[in-house]
Amino acid sequence: KNIVSVEKIEKYYGNKGNITKAIDNISFKVDEGEFLGIMGPSGSGKTTLLNCISTIDNVTTGKIIINNKDITALKAKAIEEFRRDELGFIFQDFNLLDTLTAYENIALALTIQNREIPEIDEMIKNVARKLDITELLSKFPFQLSGGQQQRVACARALVTEPSLILADEPTGALDSKSSRLLLESLEKLNKEFHSTILMVTHDSFTASYAHRILFIKDGRIFNELIRGNDTRKE
Ligand code: ADP
Ligand code: ADP
């Protein structure tokens, strides 16, 4: 089943006389359960692409279909619900709230979905077990290492059972050991819980954990790599 279909999108910034073409005719699909990497150097259009997929930014032309919805045509309220219910975000700098414990940070995503407290509690305990962070739940972000904070952020992204997890340079602020642990967590979410992950990075070690990597440069896809040991079939 196809979760994402990006169809001939372009994105221009600026206006007459000073136009940057950040995305130049990009098309690709992501299947349910896929772990897709998008790799490219700084300025290649990764952030712009991710912002268009996450409805933070608008495409100039083209369509993006996610879960059978054309998200480029959604109204403001529908966009808000789409983001809340169907997307999970993992950021480079974790984006945990300092004044909340790990538990409360994860709970927030569920509270804004108007869920009941016992259900929230059960969902958090489940996700914590999956990511092996049960013993971290009562801690505040400042009491956690970068790698631990990012695993909490993964739990927050996963707990709402989104159709798609978007990760933007998830290892960008981590040392190599923490990076490896985090990427193993992402791999586990993908393998064991069939989460669909779209990860953007400029780092080839990080990208190597994806099953398929699209290479972008100057706003275009110029190559594709499908990992040899991947048992998935098209
Ligand atoms: P990456 O994430 O791969 O570093 P970006 O998507 O941030 O690439 O940028 C792609 C191109 O678009 C670059 O040339 C960048 O300078 C330009 N760009 C990105 N955002 C804006 C913006 N808000 N206004 C003008 N130009 C932008
Ligand atoms: P990344 O670290 O993902 O490569 P960038 O450093 O390229 O991201 O961009 C960070 C933010 O600045 C993004 O939101 C992007 O849209 C914006 N940006 C990038 N280039 C420009 C630009 N030339 N003018 C205005 N905003 C820009």
Alpha carbon nearest to ligand 1 atom 20, residue: 48
| Residues, the chain | 234
Residue 100 has pLDDT above 80, yes or no: yes
Residue 47 Cβ contacting ligand 2 at under 6 Å = yes
Report the atom number in ligand 2 closest to the C-alpha of 43: 7
- CA dihedral over 187, 179, 105, 85, signed as positive or negative: negative
- pLDDT tier for residue 229 given thresholds of 50, 70 and 90: low
**What does the alpha-carbon distance between residue 159 and residue 153 come to, in Å, rounded to a whole number?**
10
**What does the alpha-carbon distance between residue 194 and residue 33 come to, in Å, rounded to a whole number?**
5
Residue 73 has pLDDT above 80, yes or no: yes
- Using alpha carbons, select from 63, 14, 18, 20 the residue that is nearest to residue 45: 20
Residue 232 has pLDDT above 80, yes or no: no
Mean pLDDT (the chain) is 93
Q: Cα–Cα distances in Å, from 49 out to 40, 112, 214?
A: 11, 26, 12
- Using alpha carbons, select from 60, 76, 36 the residue that is nearest to residue 201: 36
Burial 180-197 (b: 16+ CB within 10 A, else e): bbbbebbeebbeeeebbb
| Over residues 180-199, mean pLDDT | 90
| Over residues 37-56, mean pLDDT | 95
Measuring from each residue's beta carbon to the nearest atom of ligand 1, which residues come in under 6 Å? 13-14, 20, 22, 40, 42-48
Q: Is ipTM beyond 0.90? A: no
**pTM (predicted TM-score):** 0.87
Report the atom number in ligand 1 closest to the C-alpha of 23: 10
pLDDT at 194: 87
Alpha carbon nearest to ligand 2 atom 3, residue: 47
pLDDT at 90: 93
Residue 234 has pLDDT above 80, yes or no: no
Residue 230 has pLDDT above 80, yes or no: no
Alpha carbon nearest to ligand 2 atom 7, residue: 43
| Over residues 22-44, mean pLDDT | 97
| Over residues 84-90, mean pLDDT | 93
- pLDDT tier for residue 192 given thresholds of 50, 70 and 90: confident
Residue 233 has pLDDT above 70, yes or no: no
| Over residues 83-109, mean pLDDT | 94
Quick check: 89 and 154 in contact, CB under 8 A?
no
